[in-house]
Copies of this chain bind each other. A is one copy, B any other.
Amino acid sequence: MIQVAVMGYGTVGSGVVEVIEKNKEEINKKSGEPINIKYILDLRDFPGDPYADKITHDVEEILNDSEVKIICETMGGLKPAYDFTRRALLSGKSVCTSNKELVATYGPELIKIAHENNCNYLFEASVGGGIPIIRPLNYSLTAEKIDAITGILNGTTNYILSKMEKDGACYDEVLKEAQEKGYAERNPEADVEGYDACRKIAILSSLMCGKTMKYQDIYTEGITKITTTDFAYAHACGKTIKLLALSREEDGKYYAMVAPFMISKSHPLYMVNGVFNAVCVHGNMLGDSMYYGRGAGKLPTASAVVSDVVDCARHIGKVIMCFWDAEEVALTGIDRTSRRFFVRVPLEKEKEAIHVFEKVSVIEADVPGEFGFITDEMTEAEFNEKAGKLGIISRIRVE
């Protein structure tokens, strides 16, 4: 019998308990020994809950119980999760987490502490909800030199953009509806400004290079400025608009960014709609591979946490491979990276725009008073200079 504690009985935490109960047979077979939930840490009481007798308000009870071998940290946030996780690992208890903020901020330190104490810090649920992506990166693509990761890593923004595209509705309207449905938080900033996706691409990129890519260094732009007019242009040229989180390695140099992109129908991420997420990984031998599934939600995320519990259960006292050093990677600024841009200018600037950008592909979207086009490939710096000179309505990058 392997004793487990769940820290945080919110959405994901209660999902973890539900998954362990519902799929007991499969999970115990794969763990090699039955999994038992001994404690659930939460500030609240849950009278009438079938697990009410497991609730404790005192973290010391868990940390001091030598029977507890695995902890699911589903509290979120840095405080007190960081302190609890650190102390658990120092006492040789493995920790499985869905807490992307903690992983993006203290990942390498916590992994190191785990390995020094012959236990593990696993975080499959921190990126892509239920999509297996951390394990494929760490265990499957081991013969590859990975040079590019491109993902749709946030369910809320993908739901909003998909809905804007499908219904022709405006951003504010769709956001409001998403909030009513519980797909977006009342304060949606972390999602719509791209901060959530930024932390997730920081984690994936760090695993790609084996060092630390600080999320604070990643250029991040949200979706709040995307309009129905942008989608009209996208439709007119057979594309759609997605919030992409990407990182690239070129000649040993790295860059990463989160921003809305126009992508075409032939792009594997084109069909990723609604609350689904996906990650494209490019390796030098395999080329592109893609991992797709539900990027959030109680049970998918909990399933990922429990898959980590199974892995820890099979490796009690043993270290599971994970290469993520504390050494920081210096990121190249995106100024020198190149791409095409979709640009909107007032109709009276049509000639000037063609003069400034030289080669443009005009998009016939019948938007009154405007001229919309896609530029040739150029660096962000070049683009900014030209666009600044010209005075544009807006621009979206093209992938």
Give A113-152 as 1s and 0s: 1 = Cβ < 8 Å from B's Cβ atoms. Answer: 0000000000010000011100110011111110000000
* C-alpha gap A331/B348 in the complex (Å): 69
Bound-complex Cα distance A27 to B124 (A):
22
DSSP class of A's interface residues: helix, strand, loop or mixed? mixed
Answer whether A286 and B290 are a contact pair too, CB < 8 Å, given A143-B307, A271-B270, A310-B142. Answer: no
Shortest Cβ gap from A35 to chain B (Å): 10
Option from B32, B130, B143, B210 in Cβ contact (under 8 Å) with A289? B130
How many angstroms from the CA of A141 to the CA of B310 in the assembled complex? 10
Kindly report which residue of chain B lies nearest to residue A138, judged by CB atoms. Answer: B30
**Complex alpha-carbon distance, A250 and B231, angstroms:** 42
Among B131, B143, B284, B321, point to the contact of A314 (Cβ < 8 A). B321
State whether the Cβ of A333 lies closer than 8 Å to any Cβ in chain B.
no
Cβ of A86 within 8 Å of any chain B Cβ, yes or no, is: no
Instruction: Report whether B292 and A130 are in contact in the complex, using a CB–CB cutoff of 8 Å.
Output: no
The 5 A-B pairs at the shortest CB distance, nearest first, are namely: A132-B140, A289-B293, A143-B306, A290-B292, A130-B286
* Further pairs besides A130-B289, A290-B290: 15, Cβ < 8 Å: A19-B143, A20-B143, A23-B285, A26-B143, A26-B145, A27-B142, A136-B140, A140-B307, A142-B311, A143-B302, A143-B309, A287-B293, A289-B293, A290-B292, A290-B293
